[in-house]
A and B are shown apart, each in its own frame.
Chain A
Amino acid sequence: MVLPTRDVGYVRAPLRKRRLWKRMVANRYLYIMLLPAAAYYVLFHYYPMYGALIAFKEFSITKGILGSPWAGFKHFEYLFTLDKFWHVFWNTIIISLYRLVFGFPLPLIMAILLNEARKLLFKRTVQTIVYLPHFISWVIMGGLLMNLLSTDGGVVNNIVRSLGGEPIGFLTDDRYFRGTLVWSMIWKEFGWNTIIYMAALAGVNPQLYEAAYMDGANRARRIWHITLPSIRGTIIILLILRIGGLMEAGFEQIFVLYHEGVYNVADIIDTYVYRIGLTEGRFSLAAAVGLFKSAINFILLIAANRLSRMMGEQGIY
């Protein structure tokens, strides 16, 4: 029997709907499993995105997000005229770039060196030690740094003094503060950042190295032709993510270590948002700064990903 064409569409749609409904019912337990996570993401991620609307409003707590009157781009216009805002903006970018330039290659080099160390016990011991600081909070790391770098009994300055130098205010002098931030961040994270490379290298077939050895390839050639190509994709993905996080200059670290004496070089967007928002209570203005930051990060991430794909590499999505 041949059905008239126009009826096919009419019949098929509810059928497909019914089939979808059936599949959904069959998977009902999976939906139940998703509920806690769904509630979490709606409440603590999507609702705050909606809440970021207060950047365009004259927000007052009593009136709430919806009830507060609109202010348009007023807060943004005001921000862009503030010297202080541009100051923290550039501080953020400078600190972040320092971290990228010095902090990005080191884990890669470390992973290659670890990969070349073949005494298993030694390798694992070194790994355990260099991962450790990643698991220690910035409050503790801050305390360790204050102890280590103090001008009054700190080991580093004891050494400087015994070499005939003047004690250096690593944490108090604004000429050194950024360097202290960058290198202490590297100390805390470089070891941990090797793990993702180590994971990628763990998947490399050892026969590749054997074969290269048989062909007379020396160590440098093995690293160049086997090790690096096998982590190339990982390197690019990490680089894209780092570029997408360029506006993150290490909030918790700076929050723990900075003080008014070094605001000049260390005040970043996040610390600024914290102060004007939660200390001074200017919610709308602080939300505007925060939104501006999120938007730039988002654009950078998309741009870096597109660039990577244009160059024939895999992107993050």
Chain B
Amino acid sequence: MSYSGFGGKLFDVLNYVLLAVIAVLTLYPFWDSLIISMTPLNENLSTNVHLFPRSITLEAYRYLLNLDQLWSSYMVSIFVTVAGTIISMTATTLAAYALSKKELPGGRVVMFAIVFTMMFGGGIIPNFLVVKQLGMLNTVWAMMIPTAIQTYNLILMRSFFVSIPESLEESAKIDGCNDFGLLFRIVVPLSMPAIATVSLFYAVSKWNEFFTAVMYITDKDLWPLQLFLRSMLLENEAAFQSGGDSPFLLGQSIKMATIMVSAIPVMMIYPFFQRYFVQGITLGAVKE
């Protein structure tokens, strides 16, 4: 099926051009930062559109990789991402499965109580006080536990589980499999698109965790990458005066290098998950 007329063809061409332009504009800011992160400090950036680097140096990366704070922040972020995603996925999957069973007495009430938290909340201050009361301030747990379940993800998983035909579980049930066995042996293997999608959502949000860290972490040793990055971005340019004639540009290239180092893990992993998105979200979001 295609449009043969001149108008139809013209629309197609314009549409492709427009979409391509949008894609390029979306990516350009990343490209620009990448170039600047590799630009030598004596290069003048203020006159041109930087499409390609005229000369390349890895000086900024060398400087950056020698900072202890970068490594400690990297370790914190990796730990929070891995451990946090495991905690979140466990809690979310278990609850979503239990709530996908219509015959569970009280299930509807629990579901309502959970959805209600999307509409109403206590606010920043009471949440801060809870974390403080639990003694979690300045611990890595503050970056994982208070945000362990995102209700939207829970709903997504539950809807996916609801869509799995009951009959698939019947035979295993007759063989004496209990609910844990059903979940892990039958339901989870059938739910890979949803599990991949939700895992990615959790992992990315842990990696990007910024505000919880601002509120709950003051100890520099526990700074995640995002806090380190922010301090680098706000750092007084004077700190980077290391003999070059244009301290701003060295500062700028280090800032952009920090951005690249923080963004690259996400940019590398996420395209592999993309093929699951639409399938993972279709069942979850459309019907609920």
Contact = CB atoms under 8 A, between A and B. Distances in A.
Interface of A: 20, 23-24, 27, 29-31, 33-34, 36-38, 40-41, 43-52, 54, 61, 65, 110, 113-114, 116-119, 122, 124-133, 135-140, 142-148, 152-153, 155, 158-159, 161-162, 187, 191, 195-196, 198-200, 202-203, 209-210, 213, 218-219, 234, 244, 251-252, 255-256, 270, 273-274, 277-278, 283, 286-287, 290-291, 293-294, 297-298, 301, 317
A145 B11 contact: no
Contact of A41 (B7, B90, B149, B262): B149
Interface in B89-134: 90-92, 94-95, 97-99, 101, 103-105, 110, 113-115, 117, 119-130, 134
A207 B285 CA distance: 24
A139 B210 contact: yes
A29 B122 contact: no
Contact of B123 (A113, A196, A273): A273
Contact of A195 (B204, B214, B258, B281): B281
The DSSP consensus for interface residues of chain A is helix
A224 to B, nearest CB: 14
B49 interface: yes
Nearest to A162: B47
6 contacts: A37-B95, A54-B126, A116-B11, A140-B229, A209-B1, A290-B123
Contacts of A213: 1
Contact of A37 (B11, B33, B94, B103): B94
A152 B248 contact: yes
Nearest to A127: B274
B278 A20 contact: no
A199 B282 contact: yes
A195 B47 contact: no
Contacts of A286: 124-125
Contact of A294 (B15, B103, B120, B282): B120
B233 A37 contact: no
Interface stretch (B21-29, B54-62, B63-71, B78-86): B21-29
A29 B95 CA distance: 11
A202 B259 CA distance: 35
Contacts of B113: 41, 46
Interface in B134-174: 134, 145-146, 148-149, 154
5 nearest CB pairs, A to B: A290-B123, A48-B122, A51-B126, A37-B95, A137-B208
Contacts of B94: 33-34, 36-37
- Among the interface residues A54, A143, A219, which one has the most CB atoms of the partner chain B within 10 A? A143
A158 B149 contact: no
Nearest to A241: B118
B79 to A, nearest CB: 17
A140 B99 CA distance: 37
A290 B124 contact: yes
A178 to B, nearest CB: 20
B186 interface: no
B105 A129 contact: no
A244 B124 contact: no
A299 to B, nearest CB: 10
